[in-house]
Structure 1
């Protein structure tokens, strides 16, 4: 029997969220990204085997504000993939209200722009639903954990990293065993024949971010230029930065499982196993937002 992780942030993952990877949506097209599917299945088992109390999903497609990090409020939520032709793929989750309130309360106490105000889209978005599909499979048809759904913002990369630090602090303070799922596709500009066309910055971004995340070189992740990321058409950089912040000050064993560019959009999967405290990996020391 697999033993439970220690309180705080445990095994965590970086995954894409293409709806077509779900067979009920792809209807055969998912076979084109079979290596991504296999890596996603392995990543989901990596999380489920750790037996977390709570899974934090960082999604680019939930409620997003320019100057505020939104944490989904309430007791829980439901969602489906009906807009992608698969209404039968539906999940209901219980939110970790205590963790959400702890993060929001601490943020309010020192004027950090994060909390549960301003809910606009309570239904689970596809950036959350696709990871839940694989976690549900890995757990034998259940979702044996609570969820904390966190949105991104237009704030700086450093502030996304700082949000991750706050999530980790709250989890530790509550004695909560938490895994983090950083949901995000890479560049959308990888192929002339793709849905968004081609930009030379796209492949450059994808190669760099896969290298950096595969080494857990989070200091280098903080050095990415925000304008260059926008030009590359990525949607996951800020999710990855929050994940990195969650693992701040820890040794991390990382593994890049797969990368694919089949549809003109980059899909990357990585695993992160945090270890002991390491002050040398406190990457925001002496760095300003």
Structure 2
């Protein structure tokens, strides 16, 4: 029987990747080390496929988008350096997730590009997926982009559908919620400074430390607007996929070395299966 064997929240700032850190390798060093730890935990869990929930990539208003190409490939560039990553897509599992979610009344789009199969069937791997995957075992992936909005119930439902697809499809699944948090920590940043950034990120850390992922959906919408996090939607899908009881959350680190918050956390299901 399949199941979700390990989950985590990981950010996607470019400088987390050491080759892209430029002249200040300590800028996101704490997050980088936590990402390495989460990568090792994922390896020990031995997933057959990794699902990445990203806020970037191809978005469709009001729909969950699910990668359904043969492969995904992307490049991230910063400080005169570049990192490229390519992964095959587990198309059977992508289709199973979509079918399970659609059966529950959710709006889902399966995405492909150019040809239905073959070497031209390749979607871009955005930085929200590429950066977390850089630390992870080399297994097939499915990349999902949840819709934005203030109604979070569909995200919990989609997470439950994803978990059900893992069970019925006999897949050992690793799940990554790629989440940067508030983007208004620094006046010099592109969104300026707002005091709600520190308040919202502190609330997120407290909720995660308490294991209350579902309560992320209750954060004041005005704070969401002014703090500008991009993690709520992915984290709530993860909450639906790895529900209480038995869920354990370990916050490894939080920092805001630039204008946005970076948080790393492991989310362990109750009684995960062993390899085999």
TM-score with structure 2 length normalisation?
0.89
* Partner SS, residue 32 of structure 1: coil
Structure 1 residue runs without a partner (length 5+): 1-5, 278-289
Structure 2 residue runs without a partner (length 5+): 115-121
Aligned position for 1:132: 133
In structure 2, how many angstroms separate the alpha carbons of the residues matched to 1:256 and 1:110? 32
| Partner residue of 2:217 out of 217, 222, 230 | 222
Check 1:49–1:261 CA distance in 2 against 1; reply closer, same or farther (3 A cut): same
Shift of 1:273: 1.1
Check 1:30–1:233 CA distance in 2 against 1; reply closer, same or farther (3 A cut): farther
Check 1:225–1:165 CA distance in 2 against 1; reply closer, same or farther (3 A cut): farther
Quick check: 1:102 aligned with 2:96? Answer: yes
Aligned position for 1:281: none
In structure 2, how many angstroms separate the alpha carbons of the residues matched to 1:113 and 1:227? 26
Deviations 1:127-157 (A, max 9, x none): 011012122xxx4xxx1x2101000213421
Aligned position for 2:249: 254
In structure 2, how many angstroms separate the alpha carbons of the residues matched to 1:245 and 1:93? 26
Shift of 1:118: 7.3
Aligned position for 1:283: none
How big is the alpha-carbon RMSD for the aligned residues of Structure 1 and Structure 2? 2.1
| Partner residue of 1:55 out of 50, 55, 74 | 50
Count of matched residue pairs: 264
In structure 1, how many angstroms separate the alpha carbons of the residues matched to 2:163 and 2:259? 34
Matches within 5 A, 1:109-128: 109-117=103-111, 122-128=123-129
Aligned position for 1:30: 25
Q: Contact (CA 8 Å) 1:53, 1:176: kept in 2 or not? A: yes
TM-score with structure 1 length normalisation?
0.85
Deviations 1:23-45 (A, max 9, x none): 22222323122111111111111
Aligned position for 1:287: none
Q: Contact (CA 8 Å) 1:107, 1:115: kept in 2 or not? A: no
Q: Contact (CA 8 Å) 2:11, 2:178: kept in 1 or not? A: yes
